[in-house]
């Protein structure tokens, strides 16, 4: 899942790059 997303209803698949920071990044 991603954090600080600009989207109100972001997709539940691979949207970390669009949101910004990922909660569980490698």
Instruction: Characterize the bridge pairing of strands 2-3 and 21-22.
Output: antiparallel
Give CA–CA dist 13/25, Å, rounded: 14
Measured at the CA of 12, the angle between CA 2 and CA 23, to 5 degrees, comes to 20
pLDDT of 19 reads 58
Q: What is the pLDDT of residues 1-26, one digit of tens each?
A: 556 555 566 556 555 565 555 555 44
3-class secondary-structure state, position 2: strand
pLDDT of 6 reads 57
| pTM value surpassing 0.75 | no
pLDDT of 7 reads 58
pLDDT of 26 reads 45
Domain count across the chain: 1
What is the extent of the structural domain holding 21?
1-26
pLDDT of 24 reads 53
Contacts of 4 (CB under 8 A, 6+ apart): 19, 20, 21
């Amino acid at each position: 899942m991603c954090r600080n997303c600009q989207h109100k209803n972001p997709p539940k698949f691979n949207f970390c790059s669009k949101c910004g920071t990922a909660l569980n990044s490698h």
